Structure 1
Amino acid sequence: MSRTLNFIFVWLLTCLASQSCSDKQEVMVNQVPMNWQYDIPAAKYWESLPIGTGRFGAMIPGATDLEVIPFNDETLWTGGPYNPNNPEGPKTLKKIREHAFARNWVDATKESWKLASIPQSVQYYQPMGRLNLSMAGHELAKVNGYSRSLNMDSALVKIDYQIDGVKYSREIFASYPDQVIVIRLTADKKEQINLSSWFTSLQPSATTRIANNEVIMEGSTIFEKKGEDILPPQMKWQSKVKIIPEGGTLSADGNKLVLANADAVTLILAGATNWVSWNDISADEKKRCDDYLSNVSKLSYNELLKRHLDDYCPLFAACRIDLGPDSDPLMTTTQSMQAIREGSIDPAYEARYFQYGRYLMLAGARENTLAFNNHNMWLNDLDGRWRGRWTLNINIQECYWPVESTHLPRINESLLLFVENLAEAGKRTAKELYGCRGWCAHHGTDVWFNTAPTDGDPLHATYPIAGMWLMQQLYEHYRYNPNVDYLQRIYPLLKGAAEFCLDFLVKDPVTGYMVTCPASSPENSFIDDKGNNVSISLGSSGDIQIARNLLRNYIEAAEILNTDTELSNQSATILEQLPPHQIGGFGQLQEWIYDFKESEVTHRHMSHLWAAYPDDDITFRKTPELAEAVKVVLQRRGDINMGWSGAWKINQHARLEEADEAYSILHKMLTDISIHPNAEDSQITPSFEGNQAIQGITAGIAEMLMQSHSSEISLLPALPKQWKNGAVAGFRARDGFDIDLAWDNGTLTKAIIKANYDKPCRIRTKTPIKVFSAGKEMNVTSLDENLIKFDAKAGEKYLITVK
């Protein structure tokens, strides 16, 4: 075992030991090693292994002779601050509503095009550079015993191989506390490290130079693209790599640094931009980059590694899962994927897939960074999928679904910072485009926080309630940890969203309901009574469900904080005037205010099921008839769409406690490539670009094992037969409860519930249970079959066993 691996092994044992307790009531979780492992280098970009600091990321291919590492900064975009709002917005809004009130959906749709952003689309997310590492004589044909792996437990990429009896090792990690990427090359014999290092970039403006054993590159972004609206570049960036050799000689050769006959070498990669916020680019990117390097350049590799592990490991280890043992620990990840495609069941792979969603969140979003980008901060071209935008009509929200339940609450800070910027920009859009108070956002945005309708077509562009949906996710953080200080912090955002909601809602003269108008059901369309395919109506079901949730949350927050009584009362009045849920002619939950004929029955979006998940306004116990209508929608939509759509369906089925249906989709998605295929997608590694769903699947697995909506904790609500035995530790439930649980032969055996607040605790199980506190059985209240209640005290742990 290498010195570094031994160091990590000892560190992880210490980390896990610190989380354990001598109390014999603890749930033991035999989690398999969280590794993706391969026996060949990556042949294309998305076969590489992702690492990230939350802001600064790289993809590691693992080549032996010429390693090309693309790296990115989440804030590097084309253009600069701009106002995207059409000044004719209020006049256009009036015309749209006139058409909609007259049930002229064709002209309402046509008029909605005029609300479009200026320019029509968001700016482009951009790659920063590529670090090139040349190891002459290390051609793959000469290599024996090649392996590359991503250890999710430590967030460490490792590459090993042998040439002519010498073992070469490479270790790479991205440090959140130091905001740099660290690369370590070693050999088991002296003077064997020979390396050339240089930068390249896809940015035409990039220039490079050598200074102080550092390669330095800086530039701006592209400023033109055929047929596209790209604003003049205002972004500036710089990247540096510092080379710290152990032995050998280091010299410059043009814009390269050449290392000869070293025993080992550490490279430290940094990058920065001048972005500060949605309307501020006043930062000094050179000073930022200098600071990143100067802060760490005197630290040893092991010191850098320890700082990384001290930060990362407790966060990742906070939630552990055991769905079953490795059937063959020697299989590569690619071999496991192929076996699954051929019908094998691999619970260990499923556990790793669950944890991959958590790993990616930690790599792509942290405190003081922007939100996780559903199209990823990892990018190796000038286009990006959908320009690399944040998509706000399901995708970014789905990325955050597992954050609370799987014990990553600190990542909520990234979404909060993102929404704070979005709301500032969105105030301008609410006022200038709609004449409303508060703030709003539509379906896609960039780093300049374009909150106008982007991409033109109202089918997707006209979605002014995206900000309201984001507030639901931020409010969920309060639900899981009911801390009044946090509620106070998000209250201005919540109030602004509620003000926009109240001003944007309008009374429909035909039905008398308060409705959104214009309204779409994201990216879907319907057939009007004249056979026209149209997308704009009023009061679409998804809009109303989100508005209902927002106003309820706002009323609750205002009451808790004892503020804004008038606005709260207004919200309560409007809440009673929203359209109810409706059931259509097929028995389905209706998608629009009328039971329109669907243009595409199997459409990937299911926004009208929002009330069933992520909200809990519809459940099969509270509203059984509506829950049946949700089932009909799922049946009619089918399972043909995977990706983020399939992940949403897993969560929907889990809420309905349909274990077989949830698992059926899950198993298909374990090796799914993309809902939107691309030539660069990987078939040999778990997809996280084209799939856009891993976090949603992580949330779905958690939802199958534990739910906490509707003021009760449900243990093993949708446990599939494929997970016969298992355990989890570190789940979180709403109202501030921590949950560990274990099961055997498909039946709950034990659970530990820790209360962080004085709260009533309601527990639902499939079999009768007993509750113990401090070794003594408690008297509990039976509320329903296998539903009990007791009063929990902050700081206390409660043991649940089967009667």
Structure 2
Amino acid sequence: MNRNDQQLYYTQPANEWEEALPIGNGRIGAMVFGSISRERLQLNEDTLWSGFPRDTNNYEALRYLKQSRELIAAGKYAEAEALIEQKMLALNCQAYQPFGDLFVTWLNAPEQAAGYKRGLDLETAVAFMELEADGARYTRQAWVSVPHQIFALTYRSEGKAMDLEASFSLPHPSNSSSSSQDYTIEGRCPTHIADNYFGDHPYAVQYEEDRGIIFQSKLRALSDGSVEYTAEGIKVKDATYVYFIGSIATSFTAFDEQPHQHYSLLSKDNLAVLDAIKGYTYEELMDAHRLEHQRLYKRMSFTLGRAEEGHELPTDERLARYKQGAMDLGLESLYFNYGRYLLITSSRPGTQPANLQGIWNHRVQPPWNSDYTTNINTEMNYWPAELLSLSECHEPLLQMIEELAETGARTAKIHYKAEGWVAHHNVDIWRMSSPTGGHPSWAFWPMGGVWLTQHLWERYLFHPDLDYLKEKAYPLLKGAAQFCLDWLIEDEQGQLITSPSTSPENKFVYDQGKVSSVAQASAMDMTLIRELFEHVIEASELLNEDEPFRTELSAALEKMVKLKVNDKGLLQEWDVDFEEHEPGHRHVSHLYGLYPGTTIQQPELIEAARQTLGSRISHGGGHTGWSCAWLINLYARLGMKEDTYTFIRTLLERSTYTNLFDAHPPFQIDGNFGGIAGMAEALVQSHRESIELLPTLPEPWEAGEVSGLMARGGFKLSIQWEDSKLTEATILSLYGKPLQLSYKHSIVIIDETSGISYNGNEVIETVAGHTYRVQLA
């Protein structure tokens, strides 16, 4: 494996947060700055949120639903929008919180140093720093362990002793103390952050003594020098090595339980973690961390071409050259591998899902609350999970959907007198399912839960396990479909539509200059519901149950309004062909059925989608990081190689910080995850009946290899290509499903149910003279 696409490195410390390097174990995260004399680890813990369980539903909303529909039917869209804003929205969700900072001051640091280097090794999930001064060599490592649930910052010296002081600094009310074996910091999260989602002025932050999440960290130092613990921190003298090892505990227990207020319980939890590692050497702890990370990370590999000029340069210099037009395929594969690393380190079984910033946030008042924004961003975070053999990393999102169905059932009844469950645009750790406060263009969107259910179905498609479908996925899919059946209404032509309806965050122009975001039957609504109904019908057939409900859904599908193409050849975003308010809008919600959905398959709709993309982009669309990432996936699905690669380059050139974080701007991690999903989509697609190999291979990617990609149906693939031609593919069947392969429009079908068996040594000569080895698990 090429080291140049497995390591980020720099020749100077980070000055800004967006230059620091992320480490994490899904629960605990840290940004490592690599400063010489005063190291900073900015710490996070994924259950640190403002607020507490509360009823956010608006008990008056239902009273105005009929009136809003009547206004829309009469073409009084702006009046309906105003009514919804005033009467049918609810409270803002809560915000993800930083823990604080660990600072380590090197008291006798050299005034001048040589050979400085800091970096992040993606294969080991270790951030490092090294330098030389006065004949001595100094190294640092920082990492966060999954097996032992600790964070570590280590110092080593070869030649001279070090004097160090470590202390925490928190942005919250806090107290510190010490014992003979550890230094402790305790803090409290705010209970409220005022409803100011997009405002320019600071949020109002409120702390209460008897409510909200409390937290604690204990830090220990293992060293060959002298160690002193005080209430101000840890002092270490005359050391050639120091291992700072810490644990974090919070009082969060569940989304529907009040956080406890007992620091003694947090202390007990932290001591249990730290005492459990007493019998291990540092090397053993590091090895356990590294092996667990590599268990997921080494499932796949991705390499492009040969090394270009500049591949040995520091990452920031490589990126700068790339932004000036230089070719660097190694940087593109580094970006891909970095995205895999970020998902592994921000989302693990038993943790919270990756939010807008993964798990890395340094603000008490983060942009967009660093929440779960379910009109694209949360879903985009998990587009690559199944595809890149990281199904375990998908589990936190699937668990959140299960929890959201509980809160969403109450919201469905209270807001809409509907069965099933609903979720809107913003979700937090308390699984808020009601509309947020704000403007209807984004706050009123009862399709969040419907979109999330696609992840349940995708999980089944990649891992066709009927027990999972029956016990986990189907009840949640059915609940979302029950809500949609109640939400749909008949229009004057007897067609089923949604009303009120929005297309996420977009607006339209009508009646000679009036502007609104509220109408009926947006393409996004109808596509989401159509695909959900189709998934539930198929699941019902597979499980051989719920035939009456299946029949009801089939009847509804027949009556649902269909997508339309307007006179300009564009896909209509609403049922009425309104004038676009922002022709270059960042959302392309009406193209959901192309990607990540699958229902845009008819030639006329595909062509309309192509024209719609071209129109959006010609007016400035794709200007945010995540929006650009979506374009990569859409063009990959369309088989448009040049455009796919154009937006891969655009994502790195225009929307990437020097630490390779996605720049919305500001930082949002969805662009990283959406970007690598699109890169994989160019190599393998399996959303139709066959597995398509290299369907949208960009011309600059003329040579490469990838192993460990997953395809729907439960297949694991490794493929190689030279001169833009497939040279070899190995497909491992994990579930014994029939296999249909496609390459350059030629198809081979291998029906494993026919009794024909293959093994890894048998070669099947198939399409166009290319070789496939098919293996059965």
TM range (shorter): over 0.9
Hey, what does 1:52 align to over in structure 2? 24
Return the offset for 1:222: 3.1
Secondary structure of 1:512 counterpart: coil
Return the offset for 1:230: 5.7
Hey, what does 1:513 align to over in structure 2? 495
Measure the CA separation in 1 of the matches of 2:56 and 2:604: 44
Listed as ranges, the matches of 1:322-471 within 5 Å are 322-327=303-308, 328-471=310-453
2:188 is the counterpart of 1:220: yes
Hey, what does 1:202 align to over in structure 2? 171
Hey, what does 1:704 align to over in structure 2? 682
Hey, what does 2:80 align to over in structure 1? 108
Q: Which of 637, 640, 649 is matched with 1:658 structurally? A: 640
Identify if the C-alpha distance between structure 1 residues 602 and 257 changes in structure 2 by more than 3 Å, giving closer, same or farther. Answer: same
Listed as ranges, the matches of 1:781-796 within 5 Å are 794-795=776-777
Deviates more, 1:662-671 or 1:56-65: 662-671
Is the 2:762–2:773 contact (alpha carbons within 8 Å) kept by the matching residues of 1? no
Hey, what does 2:476 align to over in structure 1? 493
Is the 2:203–2:365 contact (alpha carbons within 8 Å) kept by the matching residues of 1? no
Q: Which of 567, 579, 588 is matched with 1:606 structurally? A: 588
2:44 is the counterpart of 1:72: yes
Return the offset for 1:562: 2.4
Hey, what does 1:263 align to over in structure 2? 240
Secondary structure of 1:405 counterpart: coil
Identify if the C-alpha distance between structure 1 residues 787 and 601 changes in structure 2 by more than 3 Å, giving closer, same or farther. Answer: farther
Identify if the C-alpha distance between structure 1 residues 251 and 776 changes in structure 2 by more than 3 Å, giving closer, same or farther. Answer: closer
Identify if the C-alpha distance between structure 1 residues 163 and 433 changes in structure 2 by more than 3 Å, giving closer, same or farther. Answer: same
Measure the CA separation in 2 of the matches of 1:789 and 1:506: 53
Listed as ranges, the matches of 1:618-767 within 5 Å are 618-619=600-601, 623-638=602-617, 639-673=621-655, 682-683=657-658, 685-687=660-662, 690=667, 692=669, 693-766=671-744
Is the 2:763–2:772 contact (alpha carbons within 8 Å) kept by the matching residues of 1? no
Measure the CA separation in 2 of the matches of 1:229 and 1:490: 40
Is the 1:270–1:289 contact (alpha carbons within 8 Å) kept by the matching residues of 2? yes
Secondary structure of 2:190 counterpart: coil
Identify if the C-alpha distance between structure 1 residues 326 and 115 changes in structure 2 by more than 3 Å, giving closer, same or farther. Answer: farther
Return the offset for 1:775: 4.7
Is the 1:241–1:267 contact (alpha carbons within 8 Å) kept by the matching residues of 2? no
Secondary structure of 1:401 counterpart: coil
Measure the CA separation in 2 of the matches of 1:116 and 1:48: 42
Hey, what does 1:3 align to over in structure 2? none
Hey, what does 1:9 align to over in structure 2? none
Secondary structure of 1:50 counterpart: strand
- Once superposed, what is the RMSD of the aligned Cα atoms? 2.3
Identify if the C-alpha distance between structure 1 residues 539 and 214 changes in structure 2 by more than 3 Å, giving closer, same or farther. Answer: same
2:95 is the counterpart of 1:124: yes
2:66 is the counterpart of 1:98: no
Measure the CA separation in 2 of the matches of 1:277 and 1:224: 18
Return the offset for 1:295: 2.3
Deviates more, 1:450-459 or 1:229-238: 229-238
Is the 1:763–1:788 contact (alpha carbons within 8 Å) kept by the matching residues of 2? no
Is the 1:217–1:240 contact (alpha carbons within 8 Å) kept by the matching residues of 2? yes
Normalised to the residue count of structure 2, the TM-score between the two structures is: 0.92
Q: Deviations over 1:591-630 (max 9, x none)?
A: 11111111011100001000000011113xxx11111100
Hey, what does 1:293 align to over in structure 2? 274
Identify if the C-alpha distance between structure 1 residues 787 and 737 changes in structure 2 by more than 3 Å, giving closer, same or farther. Answer: farther
Return the offset for 1:714: 0.7
Is the 1:375–1:385 contact (alpha carbons within 8 Å) kept by the matching residues of 2? no
Listed as ranges, the matches of 1:179-190 within 5 Å are 179-189=149-159
Return the offset for 1:303: 1.3
Return the offset for 1:251: 1.4
Identify if the C-alpha distance between structure 1 residues 617 and 644 changes in structure 2 by more than 3 Å, giving closer, same or farther. Answer: same
Measure the CA separation in 2 of the matches of 1:198 and 1:230: 25
Is the 1:605–1:645 contact (alpha carbons within 8 Å) kept by the matching residues of 2? yes
Unpaired runs of at least 5, structure 1: 1-28, 675-681, 796-803
Hey, what does 2:107 align to over in structure 1? 136
2:124 is the counterpart of 1:154: yes
Measure the CA separation in 2 of the matches of 1:777 and 1:330: 39
Secondary structure of 2:234 counterpart: strand
Secondary structure of 1:168 counterpart: strand
Return the offset for 1:462: 1.0
Return the offset for 1:223: 5.0
Measure the CA separation in 2 of the matches of 1:497 and 1:685: 37
Hey, what does 1:34 align to over in structure 2? 6
Secondary structure of 2:682 counterpart: helix
Listed as ranges, the matches of 1:535-554 within 5 Å are 535-554=517-536
Measure the CA separation in 1 of the matches of 2:48 and 2:269: 14
Identify if the C-alpha distance between structure 1 residues 385 and 484 changes in structure 2 by more than 3 Å, giving closer, same or farther. Answer: same
Deviates more, 1:145-154 or 1:224-233: 224-233
Measure the CA separation in 1 of the matches of 2:765 and 2:238: 73
Return the offset for 1:722: 0.7
Identify if the C-alpha distance between structure 1 residues 178 and 671 changes in structure 2 by more than 3 Å, giving closer, same or farther. Answer: farther
Normalised to the residue count of structure 1, the TM-score between the two structures is: 0.89
Return the offset for 1:730: 0.4
Is the 2:763–2:773 contact (alpha carbons within 8 Å) kept by the matching residues of 1? no
Identify if the C-alpha distance between structure 1 residues 277 and 541 changes in structure 2 by more than 3 Å, giving closer, same or farther. Answer: same
Is the 2:186–2:216 contact (alpha carbons within 8 Å) kept by the matching residues of 1? yes
Hey, what does 1:89 align to over in structure 2? 61
Hey, what does 2:197 align to over in structure 1? none
2:461 is the counterpart of 1:475: no
Return the offset for 1:212: 3.1
Measure the CA separation in 2 of the matches of 1:208 and 1:469: 44
Measure the CA separation in 2 of the matches of 1:164 and 1:748: 54
Return the offset for 1:167: 0.7
Is the 2:731–2:773 contact (alpha carbons within 8 Å) kept by the matching residues of 1? no
Is the 1:237–1:286 contact (alpha carbons within 8 Å) kept by the matching residues of 2? no
Secondary structure of 1:37 counterpart: strand
Return the offset for 1:465: 0.8
Is the 1:761–1:791 contact (alpha carbons within 8 Å) kept by the matching residues of 2? no
Measure the CA separation in 2 of the matches of 1:254 and 1:503: 59
Identify if the C-alpha distance between structure 1 residues 142 and 710 changes in structure 2 by more than 3 Å, giving closer, same or farther. Answer: same
Return the offset for 1:458: 0.5
Return the offset for 1:136: 1.2
Identify if the C-alpha distance between structure 1 residues 790 and 153 changes in structure 2 by more than 3 Å, giving closer, same or farther. Answer: closer
Measure the CA separation in 2 of the matches of 1:715 and 1:86: 50
Unpaired runs of at least 5, structure 2: 195-201, 751-757
Return the offset for 1:182: 1.5
Q: Deviations over 1:719-750 (max 9, x none)?
A: 11111111100000000111110110111111
Return the offset for 1:340: 0.4
Secondary structure of 1:171 counterpart: strand
2:485 is the counterpart of 1:502: yes
Hey, what does 1:177 align to over in structure 2? 147
Is the 2:441–2:502 contact (alpha carbons within 8 Å) kept by the matching residues of 1? yes
Is the 2:463–2:714 contact (alpha carbons within 8 Å) kept by the matching residues of 1? yes
Secondary structure of 1:762 counterpart: strand
Is the 1:541–1:590 contact (alpha carbons within 8 Å) kept by the matching residues of 2? yes
Identify if the C-alpha distance between structure 1 residues 406 and 115 changes in structure 2 by more than 3 Å, giving closer, same or farther. Answer: farther
Return the offset for 1:114: 3.6
